[in-house]
Amino acid sequence: MKESAVVLANDKFMTSNGKTAHGLVRGSDRFRVTAIVDPGLAGHDAGEMLDGRPADIPIVADLDEAIALEDSPPKWCIIGIATHGGRLPPELHTLVLEAVDKGLGIVNGLHDATSDDAEIAAAARARGVELIDLRKAKPRHEMHFWEGDVYDVRAPRLAVLGTDCALGKRTTTRIIVQAMNRAGVRTEMIYTGQTGWMQGARYGIVFDSIVNDFVSGELEHAIVSCDREVEPDLMVIEGQSSLRNPSGPCGAEMLLSAAARGVVLHHAPGREFLEGYESMGLRVPSLESEIELIRYYDSEAIAVTLNSNGCTPEQLDRLRTEYRDKLGIPVVEPLTEGVEALVPAIRGFIERERKRDAA
């Protein structure tokens, strides 16, 4: 049964910093979100604000209003924003303390662990509530090195990678997993971020919490565990950061350590520069060059998905057609179109992988 939770958005819900809250509004198998706390948007439905579709999740001004919405108070208060450097800013610290004092446990995806904060930890002990810090590293002796066992995994792996950060890779991954399962292909998501865990994915890692020496091994362990325990037909791996963002290049781990031979490449055609580095003139790489880079890893881009921010509907339609004609692979905008058009391409990828393994 899902546990009830309110989500702190801290006036960041309608920004890219609110992506954890966005994921929880779009769906979670772990939590039932009862409210988003964001004073500037109070009175609106979170789904309507985010995607233009009601989600029956009200945005409220404060925790008191959130708690008063239901007969029983929520069990959890989730920090729903990503801050620069994963820090817990003073205003958010105050809200977390308030939530603990009201008897709510805390689910935190920031680098600053609430359990390491003397004031919050003491308040949690006094109220008897739990603090879950998803980016707090587990003991080194519990971590895994890469062993090569991934090569014995039966299920093909498809990675959702991006041309930049904060594009919607996790959301796209989740949409693909749901579509493939509806199509009768038993598919599991391998999460790599804290929001994936919050949404209820069963297998994965919190990439940002792991010392580099263990990233490949922890990723392999999650994939091997998934394959042995549930034997899916397909695994879809959530990408992190982007292939060539210098602040956090990421993708080789999915293509090499996880042996993902297929890629869905997520791209924002309306974004000229890498997010946060506009003043430095760091441009988003072209789709063609990213697809070529993926080929060098002995993998293939089987589809492109688009983030429509910064594009008019007319521009998006034109670009979608241009990309399809130029690249020769399916191109969709998953939030508005869904990804059913990708199902045949993914089935073809699975079949190619089965033949490859049998050879």
pLDDT tens profile 20-70: 999 999 999 999 999 999 999 999 999 999 999 999 999 999 999 999 999
Residues 159 and 296 in one domain: yes
For residue range 92-150, list pLDDT tens digits in order.
Answer: 999 999 999 999 999 999 999 999 999 999 999 999 999 999 999 889 999 999 999 99
151 and 287 together in one domain? yes
| Domain shared by 232 and 88, yes or no | no
Which residues span the domain enclosing 293?
142-358
Assess whether pLDDT exceeds 90 at residue 156: yes
Residues 125 and 154 in one domain: no
Say if residue 84's pLDDT is above 90. no
Res 165: pLDDT? 92
**CA–CA dist 201, 204 (Å, integer):** 8
Task: Find the range with the poorest average confidence among 81-85, 140-144, 321-325.
Answer: 81-85
Give pLDDT, residue 85. Answer: 84
169 and 77 inside one domain: no
Q: Quick one: 96 and 225 in the same domain?
A: no
Q: What CATH number is attached to the domain comprising 168? A: 3.40.50.300
pLDDT tens digits, 168-198: 999 999 999 999 999 999 999 999 999 999 9
Residue 46 is predicted with a pLDDT of 98
Q: What's the mean pLDDT in 269-298? A: 96
> What's the total number of domains in the chain?
2
pTM of the predicted model as reported, rounded to 2 decimal places: 0.94
Q: What is 280-316 written as a DSSP string? A: GT-BPPPHHHHHHHHHHTT-EEEEEEE--TT--HHHH
Confidence label for 1 from pLDDT (cuts 50, 70 and 90): confident
Q: Which of 133, 152, 187 is the last residue of a domain?
A: 133
> Do 115 and 201 fall into the same domain?
no
Are residues 12 and 156 both part of a single domain? Answer: no
Query: What is the model's pLDDT at position 357?
Result: 87
Residues 179 and 111 in one domain: no
Same domain, 129 and 148: no
Residue 337: the pLDDT is 94
Q: Is the pLDDT of residue 273 over 90?
A: yes
Question: Binning pLDDT at 50, 70 and 90, where does residue 276 land?
Answer: confident
The band of 336, judged by pLDDT with boundaries at 50, 70 and 90, is very high
Residues 100 and 119 in one domain: yes
Residue 328: what pLDDT? 97
